[in-house]
Amino acid sequence: MGSMGKALPATVDEIRRAQRAEGPAAVLAIGTANPPTIMPQDDYPDYYFRVTNSEHLTDLKAKLSRICNHNKSGIRQRYLHLNEELLAANPGFIDPKRPSLDERVEMASAAVPELAAKAATKAIAEWGRPATDITHLIFSTYSGARAPSGDRRLASLLGLRPTVSRTILNLHGCYGGGRSLQLAKEIAENNRGARVLVACSELTLIAFYGPEGGCVDNIIGQTLFGDGAGAVVVGADPDAAVERPLFEMAFATQTTIPESEDAISMQYSKCGMEYHLSSKVPRLIGCNVERSLVDTFRTLGVTAAWNDLFWAVHPGGRAILDNIEEVLGLEDDKLAASRHVLSEFGNMSGTTVIFVLDELRRRRAAAAKQGGETPEWGVLMAFGPGITIETIVLHTPSNPELEGN
């Protein structure tokens, strides 16, 4: 042991106590971004069958038109990276049997971190501290089939410190946002002063195919998914001079639904990414969501009336929200933020729940301005392959001056 500097504390416990934060981790800022192309949902069947040269598949087109209809799907529009020009330049993306993984990964390796950087730049600006104060980065995507991955590129684009501690989550699908926030909570509460940047960026270009072959999963995917990135700064013990806690993360759990392993799957192939969504997904989630919530609150030693809470639920599809609403007996407006995000952006996989948090804080700020009361406690839930349910119990600080950029 050298003789310079302060002596080490006497025990490992003292070192641990000195490292831990005092208070709970909180969401300190939120930013979102989408690619520029907007696709109205009711135009999508015509667009999709035209750009994939598949007008002859009339039955499949009729089916997509039926499911896509915005009244049925609950989706009004989506944002897309892959536009008509990019598809014309990459005709291999249209044929589900033609090897195209290399070209897709090449495109995603640039576009995924770039979109994440747009969302993160907004979050960091709202946070009010320099990007170099970020100590940890958690990056989640289903398009990251390369190393070094998008997290490293994102750190460079944002000018983060070389000492920033990076973690990438890949293929978590729609629970990537929930998982990232849970990890950020652990890091922030166990590392005094840590400021964790969570970034999720999902572009469907890795899994876009024409309808040739008649795969129904593809038709469901074409109905639901859209492109977007969301970023959140998480930290404990906020500096009151600059930082405003939006949502404190009081408690977090993960549950796996028994016998549901095959219900949602994603896998890289030489042709891109294949995925499967069972038609049982809405029912499986509906049947298990209350058990998971009861267990979460029981661990906390409390019970909760579901309608006394606010809700940030991943809008995996209209049927999933309908099932949850029915099973929990939620009042009409309880899932309004989730339904709004589904309507305006579609299902952006792991990113979507960050958009829901952003929408919720906007709605809460608007209600506060009009002197309305909003619940102090709430729940974030996200679902994905497994089937995995991520649950975070949220608490809002007393002064919800929450309007975002």
Quote the CA–CA distance of 189 and 1 in Å, as a whole number: 30
Confirm or reject binding of residue 268 to ligand ST9 (CB under 6 A): no
In the list 52, 149, 180, 222, the residue contacting ligand ST9 (rule: CB under 6 A) is 222
Identity of the residue, 150 or 384, whose beta carbon is nearer to ligand ST9 in the bound complex? 384
Q: What is the CA radius of gyration of the chain?
A: 22
Total residues interacting with ligand ST9, rule: CB under 6 A: 38
Confirm or reject binding of residue 211 to ligand ST9 (CB under 6 A): no
In the list 113, 177, 211, 226, the residue contacting ligand ST9 (rule: CB under 6 A) is 226
In the list 275, 311, 345, 355, the residue contacting ligand ST9 (rule: CB under 6 A) is 275
Identity of the residue, 199 or 321, whose beta carbon is nearer to ligand ST9 in the bound complex? 321
Closest-CA residue to 140 (of 67, 202, 94): 202
Residues 6+ apart with CB under 8 A from 151: 113, 137, 139, 166, 167, 168
Identity of the residue, 80 or 197, whose beta carbon is nearer to ligand ST9 in the bound complex? 80
Nearest approach in angstroms of CB 272 to ligand ST9 is: 9
Tell me the window of 53-61, 120-128, 221-229, 291-299 that interacts with ligand ST9 (CB under 6 A): 221-229
Identity of the residue, 178 or 317, whose beta carbon is nearer to ligand ST9 in the bound complex? 317
Identity of the residue, 216 or 367, whose beta carbon is nearer to ligand ST9 in the bound complex? 216
- DSSP of 153-193: HHHHHHT--TT-EEEEEES-GGGHHHHHHHHHHHHHHHSTT
Closest-CA residue to 303 (of 295, 292, 313, 315): 295
Confirm or reject binding of residue 313 to ligand ST9 (CB under 6 A): no
Give residues 159-178 in contact with ligand ST9 (rule: CB under 6 A): 173-174
Q: What separation, in Å, do the N-terminal and C-terminal C-alpha atoms of the chain show?
A: 51
The CB-nearest residue to ligand ST9 is: 317
Residues 6+ apart with CB under 8 A from 60: 49, 54, 211, 214, 219
Confirm or reject binding of residue 320 to ligand ST9 (CB under 6 A): yes
Nearest approach in angstroms of CB 8 to ligand ST9 is: 47
Q: Classify 239 as helix, strand or coil.
A: coil
Quote the CA–CA distance of 188 and 185 in Å, as a whole number: 5
Confirm or reject binding of residue 394 to ligand ST9 (CB under 6 A): no
Q: Classify 56 as helix, strand or coil.
A: coil
- Stated as kind and residue range, the H or E segment containing 150 is helix 150-158
Is residue 35 within 8 A of residue 229, CB to CB? The reply is no
Closest-CA residue to 181 (of 116, 256, 249, 128): 249
Confirm or reject binding of residue 204 to ligand ST9 (CB under 6 A): yes
215 catalytically annotated: no
Confirm or reject binding of residue 316 to ligand ST9 (CB under 6 A): yes
Quote the CA–CA distance of 174 and 115 in Å, as a whole number: 18
CA distances (Å), origin 3, targets 6, 10, 15? 9, 16, 19
Catalytic residue among 174, 215, 271, 287: 174
Confirm or reject binding of residue 319 to ligand ST9 (CB under 6 A): yes
In the list 132, 256, 279, 307, the residue contacting ligand ST9 (rule: CB under 6 A) is 279
In the list 141, 349, 351, 388, the residue contacting ligand ST9 (rule: CB under 6 A) is 349
Identity of the residue, 41 or 396, whose beta carbon is nearer to ligand ST9 in the bound complex? 41
Chain contacts with ligand ST9 (rule: CB under 6 A): 39, 63, 66-67, 72-73, 78, 80, 173-174, 204, 207-208, 216, 220-226, 264, 266, 275, 277-279, 281-282, 316-320, 347, 349, 383-384
Question: Catalytic amino acids?
Answer: 174
